Structure 1
Amino acid sequence: MNRDTGNVHQTIVLSVTEWLFTVFVGHRSEGIIFYVRFFILLPLLILLFYMGVQTALGG
């Protein structure tokens, strides 16, 4: 594994983590932040539920 690739990946992960922290923990809960929370969390919850059902059914 190339170290440069790892560093770039780590930088991207760090940037995304900081952005998500700002979105979900930020003090503003109106406007675009609210919609980002809604449109990210809702599909994630649906996906997790679907994956759980598939696992429970043995699929």
Structure 2
Amino acid sequence: MLLKHDSARPHTWLKTQKAVTKLGWTILFHPPHSPQLAPSHFHLFEALANAICGKRFGSNEEVME
């Protein structure tokens, strides 16, 4: 199992780190300033989430419509 998270306090808490280690998961840290996620992307993702909120799709084709 791969777990990707940032450096938020709940993720770096010693108890959390011990639990993840006990489960045998590998932690993939997210860089604090990732070039793949510009601040503008957060607004895009929020708009996308709002647009599809509560909708269910039966296929990939339905998502693309």
Q: Same fold (TM over 0.5)?
A: no
Which TM-score band (shorter chain)?
Answer: 0.3 to 0.5
Richer in helix (by share): 1
TM-score by length of 1: 0.35
Higher relative CO (Cα under 8 Å, sequence separation at least 6) belongs to: 2
